[in-house]
Structure 1
């Protein structure tokens, strides 16, 4: 696969020209971005997948949900439906997509909707019976038809956008210059003991503008696993059992490394593509494995499988900022929301 992508290198300049021209036309107003009076927070990345968007969206929701009526609007990637859908108890990962369904299950007080057309999605939300006071756009950094009021750009430690090239050979969705639209850049998935020298090295690499802020965060794993029956194992208890790990995410390597650090015996790792839809045959095979082993998966995969395998366990993750970066991030976001809500 890597060799094939290298063979596509001659197409990178073509992709660069197309994406650069598109951004330029938005920048000078040839292509129009719709502004909404409601505070609009965009969470996204330049690289394809694997930067921790879902835990970042959840962090934003936890930060703001007690002071405003929030809505999360997502595209609903790989769902089996089309158009605008406002999540209800009748929905599932199939109708919403796995990540929006995960958000809906975790935050009952938050509106969760899906629509590939974000302009239409926000408009429909604002016409609803319960009107959002803040809209969080999941994975919408390149969706420039909506003017993002506050743009949060994520880049993963060890896979910085500054070290990548454009599709189809690299993983960048648009040129690195697109980072200039960000209000705050978050380096995600950092080690907890990130050194000052490494921070400075990353800061130089990303060429952050004076009007932007740069902060660092880590992924924190829960100390327990849970299933749909509300049964729990501590990680210590899980270490006494043989586990089959099931993943359908962009980069399962950090999870595998964490479990090994916790002395979890991974008897088998079934590694599927990101957002994988499990077939009946695959589910039957998993049920057979479940007779002998504990089945463990990610929270995103869990929402697709929980109605099929009730005894399937998942490990929750959260975003945690390093040191005083939490205050920098929180204060910046709250300041934007409050100043936007006060506008006439």
Structure 2
């Protein structure tokens, strides 16, 4: 029997309550060694998949979070158990006990339907709950005039009246927010793992039901996204929140506790609203023997996205053509095809690569 098989065998014995004292001690030693952390998640997932819980299907991100809680047992236990000669033994015992609890009840505690009571408990005073049970988008208007468009299956929890210092709501699912400006009362949306903070803007928050990833995409204004420490109970929080602007998005991966920023899949013109308000013409995107540095500056201003080149010689290439009526990425493909260059996303910027022109 391999060492991995031995670990799985002892684990099953312990969870079933059939492990002898010697077998328990052996399992505790293996847990404390740290050599089996990688395979622990797979074993938990398989154990839950084999269980008879109705409708139980463990998403990958839930398994990863249970594992992280188990592996953090040592540092969490050390904070409440006095230092002594037997502390290491207590820590091993705590890790094993936590493992058994995770296997027996962990998934039930993490099931999506628990979000309602969890979110409602965070709201002071009378709580309203609005769930979109239809197959189409559903719009609601909050007391401050902010508009929220709920996607099917999404639930929004909000107070009857906002506090004097902030406007806080809780959401489980995906929704588009168009927030009424109020510089003195920030608007905060609490999700399962992230907090989105704004003063007045429009943005989309979505959740991937398979991976558990939460995504915030900005339409207008600026948005701050941070980890929700009320839900993600970790010893250390992420280093800092991120600020995203129009056509940018932040993606939180709960399994990795990673908060990444990039561009949205379909950037929109940010100058469109300004042009319509001031009755100015929209960008024409029609060029006649124009240098690429001029064209890239025009596109960057129109979409609010930084465009850079890896070769200064590229900026002197000339381009002639009408790229109006196309989305940004199609416009870039046309330009790159004509100038023997290419583009790629680099975080929240677009990088143009090529040899340049003679």
Normalising by the smaller structure, the TM-score range is under 0.3
Higher strand share: 2
Structure showing greater relative contact order (alpha-carbon pairs closer than 8 Å, 6 or more residues apart): 1
Compare CA radii of gyration and give the structure with the larger one: 2
Normalization by structure 2: what TM-score? 0.19
